[in-house]
Amino acid sequence: MNDGKPITRLFFVKMKKAFIELPDEEKATYMQKDRANLDELGMKAISMVNCGWSTDEWDYIGIEQWPSLEAIKKREIFERDELEIDKYTVSKTYLGTDESFDDYGKE
């Protein structure tokens, strides 16, 4: 499947009103809990793009690197059970592995 390569997760997120309206202290606690789990599972942030100013469809697009599919599965359970992510966001995610672009279109 991934031949032992790290897994790349591409995500698209739109924040729901329920998150936007949380008091600042609750938002901070939520994000700290979120970050602790990301760090614990070995996620490496590659890029986070704030695109809410240019489109109504998504607020953020991000690229993460994960050590294994097992870590992503644990993350998905945490997002569902602990963060109740569907209550606060609309999102899409895609998984893949990195490939070199060095030789693309070259003879």
User: Is the separation of the CB atoms in 14 and 89 below 8 Å?
Assistant: yes
Count other Cβ atoms within 10 Å, centred on residue 57.
11
Q: Regarding beta strands 44-50 and 89-96, do their DSSP bridges make them parallel or antiparallel, or are they unpaired?
A: unpaired
Q: Is 71 helix (H, G, I), strand (E, B) or coil?
A: helix
User: Is the separation of the CB atoms in 56 and 12 below 8 Å?
Assistant: no
pLDDT per residue as tens digits for the range 56-96: 999 999 999 999 999 999 999 999 999 999 999 999 999 99
**What is the pTM (predicted TM-score) of this model?**
0.86
Question: Which domains are delineated in the chain?
Answer: 7-96 (3.30.70.1030)
Tokens of 67: 């050590």
Question: Higher pLDDT residue, 100 or 9?
Answer: 9
Tokens of 20: 């936007």
- Checking if the pLDDT of 1 tops 90, the result is no
What per-residue confidence (pLDDT) applies to 2? 61
